[in-house]
């Protein structure tokens, strides 16, 4: 997607959702990339959703988004070195707060 198309999309989506915030799209895309590469590809959209939600629960605004993005990025970048620990927790029945429920 070309940068102009991406910028247009962000503006249109922000308008549609009633969001009045200029975001650093490069920062958000970098966080998504780091999650996809260091955790798992589906982690990218989930990470950006949770990042936005966390920022909103902390009052929103550019600073809240930047703080949440920084925290998410640091975790994603450290994930490959701690992934074994998380896998061990899951195997031993420890909860990492995945929020997944069993199959119906």
Q: Which residues contact 84 (CB under 8 A, 6 or more apart)?
A: none
Q: Is the pLDDT of residue 95 over 70?
A: no
What count of Cα atoms within 13 Å lies in the side-chain half-sphere of residue 25? Answer: 13
Q: Which two tokens stand for residue 82?
A: 């701690």
Per-residue pLDDT tens for 51-93? 999 999 999 999 999 999 999 999 999 998 666 555 555 555 5
Per-residue pLDDT tens for 56-66? 999 999 999 99
Q: Is the pLDDT of residue 8 over 80?
A: yes
Question: How far is 80 from 41, CA to CA, in rounded Å?
Answer: 13
pLDDT band for position 3 (cuts 50, 70, 90): confident
Question: Any idea where the domains of the chain sit in the sequence?
Answer: 21-80
């Amino acid at each position: 997607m070309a940068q102009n198309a991406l910028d247009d999309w962000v503006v249109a989506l922000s308008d549609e959702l009633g969001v009045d915030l200029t975001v650093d799209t490069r920062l958000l895309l970098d966080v998504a990339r780091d999650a996809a590469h260091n955790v798992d590809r589906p982690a990218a959209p989930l990470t950006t959703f949770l990042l936005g939600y966390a920022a909103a629960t902390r009052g929103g605004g550019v600073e809240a988004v930047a703080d949440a993005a920084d925290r998410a990025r640091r975790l994603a970048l450290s994930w490959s070195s701690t992934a074994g620990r998380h896998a061990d927790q899951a195997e031993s029945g420890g909860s990492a707060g995945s929020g997944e429920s069993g199959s119906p």
